[in-house]
Amino acid sequence: MKLVIAVIHDEDSHRLTERLNKAGFMATKLASTGGFLKTGNTTIFVGTEKEKLDEVLDIIKKECKTNKQMSLLNPPVAGMPDGYLPYPIEVTVGGATVFVLDVDQYLKI
Nearest to 3 by CA among 39, 35, 44: 44
Going from the C-alpha of 85 to that of each of 45, 69, 79, the distances in angstroms are: 40, 19, 13
Please report, for the chain, the start and end positions of each structural domain, with discontinuous segments joined by +.
2-75+86-102
Local structure of residue 106 (DSSP, 8 states): -
Q: What is the pLDDT of residues 85-98, one digit of tens each?
A: 667 776 666 689 99
The domain over range 2-75+86-102 is classified in CATH as 3.30.70.120: yes
Per-residue pLDDT of the chain (109 residues; tens, 9 = 90+): 999 999 998 888 999 999 999 999 999 999 887 765 566 789 999 999 999 999 999 999 999 987 776 666 555 556 666 666 667 776 666 689 999 999 999 888 8
Q: Kindly report the pTM of this predicted structure.
A: 0.75
Complete DSSP assignment for 63-91 = H--EEEEEEE-S---TTPPTT----EEEE
